[in-house]
Structure formats: structure tokens, C-alpha cells
Structure 1
Amino acid sequence: MAGRVFLHVGAPKTGSTYVQDVLWSNRDALRRAGLLLPGTAAAHDQAMTDLRAVPWRDPGATWTWDRLAAEAARWPGDVIISNEALGGATGAQVARAVHSLRPAEVHVIVVARDLWRTFPSMWQQSIRERRVWRFETFLRAVERGEFETFWELHTANRMLRRWGDEVPPERRHLVTVPAPGAPPDTLWQRFAGVLGIPDGLCVRAAPTANASLGAAETELLRRVNQALGDRYPHRRPYQQVVQRHLVNAVLKRRPDQARFTVGPDRAGWVLDLAEQQIKELDEYPCQVVGDLAELRPAGVRPAAGPDELNDAQVLAVALETIVGLLGHAESLAGRADRDGLLRRLRRRLRQR
């Protein structure tokens, strides 16, 4: 039976990719130290889609939440389950998840990031998940209370209450994303401290964040999503084709991408929201790792957003992207030729 089970439930765009990369790349060392990552990273994702009963669950998925929980239960030490989309579970789904892991001592970890950086990241993520709305439309929906998914899935306040209320206060952990300029391993040090991972156990490469796109690149992808119509639906077909060949292979690799932020007309609104968020989290009984003040936007400098780009600017990026796609296609063809040659050589060797 597991001793402690740590549930890292989100939020997205809070360094989760970096933390998970360190965990999985050091899986064997962690296992020897008594900390298990059950299954695989894909298993955690499949278990999340099963728990949340999402309509876009891969029909070929083999991992369920109960299967993941059963593997965790067989381990005699501590366990970590990490998927940033777990934070979107409903209250009933959260209760089911926590109950399935008992009698182990269940801990909940939520990571929080300041709203000034969260808004652009979340909108961009929604475009990479096949949405087609403009940045202004997204912000207006959040401002008017017409997009509750943002608060439910991307802010620590509600996420921590849904998950944290299922465990005692001393087992609720809120980790804050350090402000820009902090040492690159600060987030990992904070996360590892919650799990009790000793310093030096895990080999850490440079942070491999889930690279963001610039204003023009995101706007181009938004228009591509519009043009696709019903082709490549979310989630697996879109990830296998658009995400793999357009976003990861070309758009993410473009140099000198222009970053964007919330416009100056909403700076005061974001700052007010941040103060409200800090107040609510300060009043919620949990262990804060880091500093709630890091949720207060610092050095706010509004920059031009994707909605302000003209067609000529987007066309220029589109042409460069086509050139990038041609290079990507050429490399894939070369790889296919090499693989074909190796198969023919193996076949001849077997025949001899």
C-alpha cells in the first residue's frame, strides 16, 4: 500500500512541462529513492481523460483512472501523479479520485502563476487546442463572466478549493511560479521540496518549457484553424497533424517572435483581479511554497496584441512558415529514405 500519494493537478502554463520532464527523466532514480511515477506520462493523460469523462478521450486509450490508482496502491512507498488538466475535474470527480487512493495519505499540489502572464498563455493554448476566437473576444468573455472555464481550469483559487477541500489543510500545497529573473531551477526546487526529493537526486537539464508562440504565429494558427473546417478534429487527429507538423516543427522554431500582453485598457482590471486572488488564497488554509506576492504582476508593460496585426504582417509569417514546412517535409522524406534503406539491408542480411 502506498504511503503518500501526491496529486499534481495543475494549472496549465505554470511550468508543468518542465517539472514533468525532470520527473520522468529521473524516474529510475526516484523509484530507487522510494518515489513511484506509475505507468507512463501518456498513462497519466489517459487516466485524466477517463476521470473527467471528456468527450475527446482517445477511443484507443487503455489507461483508466482506476488502473492508475491500482498501480499506485501496489507501491509500498510514495507516489506522484502529475497532469495539469486534472484541475478541471468536477467536485464529484475529485471526490472519486481521492477516495480511490485511500487509505494512502493523499496530498494535492496546485501551481499558481500571475494573471498578467496567464491570460495571453491561456488564449494561445486555446488556439493550439483548435479554438478560433480572437484575443479580444477571449478577454471580453472572461471579463463578462461568459467563460468560466478560465477560472475553473487556469486559476489556483477554484482549483485548490475543489481538490484541497477533499484533504486536510496540511496536505494542501500551493506552489507559486517565481517572478521573471529568478534562478531557472527555482520552480523545481519548490516542487521537489513538497515531495521531499533531496537536492542532487535528480539530474536537471535547462528548463524545457512548453514554448510559447508569438503574436503573429498564434494569429496565423488561428486562421488556419478557421480554414480547416471539420478536418483534423481535436484532440488526437489535430495533435498528430497540425500540432506535430505545423506548431512543433515550424511555428515554435521561428526566431524573434513578438510576444504580447494584455492591452493597456485592461491593465487596471488585471491588477485588481490579482489582488483579489492573493486575498482569497491568503485566507485559504494551505501550505504556500514560494510567495503569494509573486502573483502580483510586476513590470507591467502592455504590448501590441495579435488583433492589431494587419493582413500583410500575417502573410509575411505565412510565407516564411510555408518555407519552413517545405524544409520539414524534406527532412521527413530523407528520414523515410534512410529507414527504407535500412529495412532493405536487414532483409538481405536475413536472407543470407
Structure 2
Amino acid sequence: MADVVYLHLGLPKTGTTYLQDRLALNRATLARHGVRYPVGPHDDMFRPALDLVERRWAGVGNDVGGEWDALVRRVRRAKGTVVVSHEILAGADRDQVERAVTSLAPAELHLVLTARDIARQVPAEWQERLKHQDVSSYRRFARRVRKNPRSDTAKSFWRVQDLTRVLERWSRQLTPDRVHVVTVPPPGGAPSELWHRFCRAIAVDPAWAPLDSVRRNPSIGAAESVMLRRLNTRLRAEGLGYDGYAELVRQLIVHDTLAVAENPRKVTLPPDAYDWADEVADRWHDWLVGSGVDVVGDLVDLRPVRPDPDAPWHDPDRPGQRAVAHATMDALVAVIMEADRRPGPDDQLVARVGKVARRLRDR
């Protein structure tokens, strides 16, 4: 059995894709230093995490039984230090937490949680939901998160985005010195700074993982988000399945095309929401200081950065139509080029997406 297990819970949208990919890329060199990242036959730990939290996921979920136990067996075979990481672990309930903690005993268990200020998390989470076929407007999503705690939207958001609730569920059996909160650096910094902070939390020399990752789970601009939301509505009516959506929309259109657009207009909190965001930051700060857990980075990083009071706020639900049309054309070109690249006389799935995209362009 491993001597020490570092269990990285997320939170979602805190650089987890980058961290996990860098761990995977450097598995061999890390192993030479006694650090294992036992992903098994898959590229990540999504399936074991899904099994633990007992969630269904479009395209996955019916065939993940036993994946957590298989991960535990890999941990038990390992020597030295083991790192386990997936952001959906943040949503585990108390019984699932108990199962995880018990199954990883008698190794010395440490929790690692990466955290980012709530002003960046709200728009990032909205966009992430759009990438999974949601059709909610930003205004509705943000209002429910802020003012309607009993709504399904708010419950699902806070379950994985409220660092105090996540740590209260996960850390009941651990001493504060075994709980590590890594703050995500402010915008504009090098991704390597997050990696260095993460390495300090898991007691790893950054030099043991020299290969950098180019994988990201980036946000998109306001116009691109509106285009995606409209496209989701049309594709829902067309009956596009999960596999086609994941390949053609989330990967091809969003990640490969829209996410690399030049100078997108960022989605930000409404100006009147920053007092609320500061209250969340105050609550997090007081809990972290009072709990005595190990904080890697600066607690100031969890404080929302207010915009210039004279700067105009652009409603993400109402971007310029020219910008939306431009994003639509980019998406349409990407789909057509993909259809042209594929072998065979006709790909009905690509043709259907192209048809919907053309209708959206002409709207």
C-alpha cells in the first residue's frame, strides 16, 4: 500500500485539466522519484470518480461500476506517494466520502483543494454547462446562484463550488495539517505558477515533472457563448446524441474553434454582484483561517477583483449581433472542413449539424 495518498478534489474550473494532464505526461519521471499517478487503462480518473459519486453522465455512467475499487487496488499496489485527482470528487456526499477515506486506509491521507475567486467561478461554471448542452441564459443562471439557493441550479453549483462545504464534508476525519488549499493565481499569470503551488501541496519537486501541458479547459467569449446556447437549443430539437455533440460541438466547435478566437469579450459578474462576491470571499477567508488548514498561495487570490467603476459592463446575453454572426460562421466553417476531411460519401451527423448551423447563421 502507498505510504501517502494525496486526494485532489478540484474544485471544478480551477486549472484541474492542466494539473491532471501534467501529472499524466510526467508519470514516468515522477515514478522514478517515488510518486505515482495511477490512471490505469484510461487517460484520467474520471471513471473511478464517477463510480464513487454515483453519478450518471451523458455517454458514460452505466458501465463504471467497479472503477473506484480498481483505482484503490492500483493505489494499494503502489509504493511511496500516490496522487489521485478529479474535480467531480468535490460533489461527493458524506457516505461517499466515508467510502473513499475508508478504502484508502491505512495510507496517510491528505486532501488537496484548488480554489479560485467566486467572481471568476460563476461565469466559468455557466460556460461549462453550456458545453454540456445547457440552454440557460447567463442572467438566469447567475440570479439563481446568488438569490435562489433552493433551485436545482444553485444546489448543484454550490455543492462543488463552495470550498467550505466541500471541505466540511471531506475533512471531518483529518487533522488540519493534512488539508491543503491551493489558491489559483490571478489572471494573466503563467500556468506554471499554479503547478508550483500544487507541487508544494503534494510535497513534490516541480523539476520531477519537466514536461509542461498544453491542455486547457478554456472559457469562451460572450458572443461565442450566446451562439453556443442558441445552437444547443436547435440541436436539442434535432435530437443530436451525446457522442455527436461531444465530438463535433464541445471539441471541434468550442475547444478547437471558439476558444481560440482573438480578443473575445469576457463574461464577468454584473457590477451589482461584487458586494455579494465579497461576502462569499469573507466567509471563505474566515473559515480557512479559523480551521487552520494549510493554505498554499495567498488568500488574497480568493478576493474578487472589482472592475473599474467607470468601465461599462456588457450583458453576456446581449452581445453584438455581428460578433455572434462571426462566431457562427467560424463554427460553420469548422464543421464543413471536418465533413470534407472525413472519408465516405456523406456523414449524416455532420450534415445535420451543418444544416442547423446554417439556419442559426441566417436567423
Which residue in 1 is equivalent to 2:87? 84
Indicate yes or no: 2:32 matched with 1:32: yes
Which residue in 1 is equivalent to 2:46? 45
Q: How does 1:291-306 map to 2 (within 5 A)?
A: 291-301=298-308, 303-306=313-316
Distance 1:217 1:238 in 2: 16
**CA shift at 1:14, angstroms?**
0.6
Segments of 5+ residues of structure 1 without an aligned counterpart are: 335-352
**CA shift at 1:292, angstroms?**
1.1
Specify the code of the residue in structure 2 equivalent to 1:12.
P
Q: How does 1:321-332 map to 2 (within 5 A)?
A: 321-332=331-342
**CA shift at 1:310, angstroms?**
5.2
Which residue in 2 is equivalent to 1:168? 175
What secondary structure does 2:305 align onto? Answer: coil
Which residue in 2 is equivalent to 1:338? none
Higher alpha-carbon deviation: 198-207 or 9-18: 198-207
**8 A Cα contact 1:43 1:68, kept in partner:** no
Distance 2:266 2:289 in 1: 31
What secondary structure does 2:207 align onto? Answer: coil
2:127 to 119, 124, 127: 124
**CA shift at 1:309, angstroms?**
2.2
1:267 to 269, 274, 277: 274
Q: How does 1:205-220 map to 2 (within 5 A)?
A: 205=212, 208-220=215-227
**8 A Cα contact 2:17 2:217, kept in partner:** yes
Indicate yes or no: 2:317 matched with 1:307: yes
**CA shift at 1:191, angstroms?**
0.7
What secondary structure does 1:106 align onto? Answer: strand
**CA shift at 1:183, angstroms?**
4.3
Which residue in 2 is equivalent to 1:55? 56
Distance 1:62 1:122 in 2: 27
Give the direction of change, closer, same or farther, for the CA distance of 1:313–1:180 in structure 2 (3 Å limit): closer
Higher alpha-carbon deviation: 66-75 or 251-260: 251-260
Segments of 5+ residues of structure 2 without an aligned counterpart are: 345-363
Residue by residue over 1:58-88, the C-alpha shift from the partner in whole angstroms, topping out at 9 and shown as x without a partner, is: 4344761111011101112111111011101
Please give the TM-score of this superposition, normalised by the length of structure 1: 0.88
Distance 1:72 1:237 in 2: 34
Distance 1:82 1:197 in 2: 15
Which residue in 1 is equivalent to 2:104? 101
Give the direction of change, closer, same or farther, for the CA distance of 1:257–1:184 in structure 2 (3 Å limit): same
Give the direction of change, closer, same or farther, for the CA distance of 1:115–1:268 in structure 2 (3 Å limit): same
Give the direction of change, closer, same or farther, for the CA distance of 1:279–1:99 in structure 2 (3 Å limit): same
Distance 2:195 2:324 in 1: 37
Give the direction of change, closer, same or farther, for the CA distance of 1:323–1:240 in structure 2 (3 Å limit): closer
Indicate yes or no: 2:68 matched with 1:65: yes
Give the direction of change, closer, same or farther, for the CA distance of 1:63–1:224 in structure 2 (3 Å limit): farther
Which residue in 2 is equivalent to 1:133? 136
Which residue in 2 is equivalent to 1:156? 163
**CA shift at 1:155, angstroms?**
2.6
**8 A Cα contact 1:35 1:78, kept in partner:** yes
**8 A Cα contact 1:214 1:257, kept in partner:** yes
Distance 1:308 1:92 in 2: 43
Distance 2:62 2:248 in 1: 18
Give the direction of change, closer, same or farther, for the CA distance of 1:297–1:281 in structure 2 (3 Å limit): same
Q: Which runs of 4+ in 1 moved over 6 A?
A: none
Distance 1:65 1:298 in 2: 39
Please give the TM-score of this superposition, normalised by the length of structure 2: 0.85
**CA shift at 1:43, angstroms?**
5.2
What secondary structure does 1:10 align onto? Answer: coil
Specify the code of the residue in structure 2 equivalent to 1:165.
R
Which residue in 2 is equivalent to 1:16? 16
**8 A Cα contact 1:10 1:111, kept in partner:** yes
Which residue in 1 is equivalent to 2:118? 115
Q: How does 1:176-325 map to 2 (within 5 A)?
A: 176-205=183-212, 208-229=215-236, 231-233=239-241, 236=243, 238-301=245-308, 303-309=313-319, 311=321, 313-325=323-335
**8 A Cα contact 2:37 2:83, kept in partner:** yes
Distance 2:28 2:65 in 1: 23
**CA shift at 1:259, angstroms?**
1.1
Specify the code of the residue in structure 2 equivalent to 1:127.
L
Which residue in 1 is equivalent to 2:352? none
**CA shift at 1:199, angstroms?**
3.5
Give the direction of change, closer, same or farther, for the CA distance of 1:193–1:17 in structure 2 (3 Å limit): same
Specify the code of the residue in structure 2 equivalent to 1:167.
L
**8 A Cα contact 2:20 2:44, kept in partner:** no
**CA shift at 1:194, angstroms?**
1.7
What secondary structure does 1:307 align onto? Answer: coil
